[in-house]
Amino acid sequence: MRPDDYKYSESHEWIKYNEKKKEATVGITDYAVKQLADLVHIDLPKVGDNIEQGAPFGEIESVKTVADLVSPLTGKIIEVNKEVGGDLDTLKEEPFEDGWLIKIKPSDPAELESLMTKKEYEEFLEASEEDKEDKDDKKDEDVDEDDFV
């Protein structure tokens, strides 16, 4: 179940912002974990690294692909979840809690406004699935039976 109070990015990262501490915890969504399927490796940045909104901060590898982890915010890495690197099952089983990846001290908390709410993210996923289905239908329409003769 996706938490209501988190923010979400189009690249399927989630953000839990702690207003009091002025820090953001970042992970990948259940949707991303499901799409990647059999996870085999994750490469995370070091504490102290600076990251930019929209730029890769690491990679996650599954049996079928390697995907960039894209930073939802600009800032400095203040903590890295080393547990996830050693046990990817945590990420698969609890992507929104123990499966967090990094904590960031955002340099511009206003960037949070560019991210989606839970409702917006779920609508984004629905629209993405509809686009995919439309493309699949279009591919089927483009197939001419004469091509198989």
**Dihedral (Cα; 24, 49, 116, 98), 10-degree rounding:** -50
Tell whether 147 is covered by a domain.
Answer: no
Question: In which band, very low, low, confident or very high, does the pLDDT at 149 lie, cut at 50, 70 and 90?
Answer: very low
Q: Look at the chain and report how many structural domains it folds into.
A: 1
Tell whether 31 is covered by a domain.
Answer: yes
**What are the phi and psi torsion angles at 49 (to 5°)?**
-65, 145
The pTM of this model reads 0.85
Short-list 64, 69, 59, CA closest to 29: 69
Question: In which band, very low, low, confident or very high, does the pLDDT at 98 lie, cut at 50, 70 and 90?
Answer: very high
Tell whether 148 is covered by a domain.
Answer: no
d(CA 88, CA 32): 13
Each residue of 14-67: pLDDT tens digit? 999 999 999 999 999 999 999 998 899 999 999 999 999 999 999 999 998 999
Tell whether 134 is covered by a domain.
Answer: yes
Q: Which CATH number fits the domain that encloses residue 72?
A: 2.40.50.100
SS3 assignment for 65-86: CEEEEECCCCEEEEEECHHHHH
Q: Is the pLDDT of residue 126 over 70?
A: yes
Q: Token digits for 41?
A: 């490796």
- Reduced to 3 states (helix: H, G, I; strand: E, B; else coil), residue 104 is strand
Q: How many residues does the chain have?
A: 149
Tell whether 149 is covered by a domain.
Answer: no
Supply the range of the domain harboring residue 122: 7-142
Tell whether 1 is covered by a domain.
Answer: no
